[in-house]
Amino acid sequence: QTRTLNRDSREDETREDNSATARRGEVGTRERKRGRRDEKARGRATMRRSSKKSSSSSAAAVPTKAVSKEIERIDQLFYTYADGSSSMIDPEGIETLCSHLEVPHTDVRILMLAWKMGCEKQGYFTLDEWRTGMKALRADSISKLKKAFPELVQEVTRSSNFQDFYPYAFRYCLTEDKKKCIEIPVACELLNLVLSLQFRPQVEKLINYLKVTVDSIF
């Protein structure tokens, strides 16, 4: 009877061991399946990130190419008027530009254009200044520059911008580096050019006063 009990006990232990082994096998199988699912999920996530990066790179490349083409057209327009020896648009080039724009070279809009470019020397446009102005105006051709003039005039005549434009016009007309004042005839022309759009009656009175003053002195 004792031997029978021992045998039954060993059989029970064997069954429990087999059951535990089976459970461990099931757990291991589930973990392997879960691991494979996780690997697939990570793979899909990696592919999505790669796809997004590729799309972003492609999207970024398009504007870059567009900007490059725009700069190329702006530069081509510049060299249409630039002097070959100085690599600048000189007074003669500006006159040609004005004729193509169908405006006189004394038109206030040319002074506004110089302000928009940030030109430092009267009667000369450098390539960097030209690029600055044309990009700001979104103009890479004569036709686009013509269309940009009304918006430029509105921009300059806003009080916040005009406070910058008015002293710029004075500095731009100083033909010498150390010069601090301009002649009265030039000042009269400049006043008429810059202020007559907004203050014509006052400008006419001031100009007449200055002319009378000059005549009385000389």
Helix H, strand E, coil C: the string for 138-167 is: CCCCHHHHHHHHHHHHHHHHCHHHHHHHHH
User: Please, are residues 95 and 105 in contact by the beta-carbon 8 Å criterion?
Assistant: yes
Residue 57, helix vs strand vs coil: helix
The torsion angles phi and psi of 125, rounded to 5 degrees, stand at -115, 125
The pLDDT value given to residue 187: 84
Instruction: State whether the Cα torsion 44-49-53-58 is positive or negative.
Output: positive
Give CATH 1.10.238.10 domain extents, the chain.
65-158
**Average pLDDT per run of 10 along the chain, which is 218 residues long?**
50 55 57 66 64 51 70 95 93 96 92 95 94 96 96 92 90 74 83 82 89 68
d(CA 182, CA 200): 21
Q: What is the pLDDT of residue 81?
A: 96
The pTM for the full model equals: 0.65
Q: 173: which DSSP letter?
A: T
* pLDDT at residue number 66: 67
pLDDT value, residue 3:
46
Q: How many CA atoms lie within 13 A of 12 on its CB side?
A: 6
Q: How far apart are CA 193 and CA 173, in angstroms?
A: 12
Return d(Cα 12, Cα 10) in angstroms, integer: 5
Per-residue confidence (pLDDT) for residue 2, from 0 to 100: 47
* φ/ψ (deg, to 5) at 88: -135, 160
List CB contacts of 149: < 8 A, sequence separation 6 or more: 109
Write down the pLDDT at residue 60. 45
Second-level CATH architecture of 65-158: Orthogonal Bundle (1.10)
The secondary structure of 82-151 as a DSSP string is: SBTTTTBB-HHHHHHHHHHHTS-TT-HHHHHHHHHHT--STT-B-HHHHHHHHHHHT--SHHHHHHHHHH
Say how far apart CA 42 and CA 92 lie, in whole Å: 67
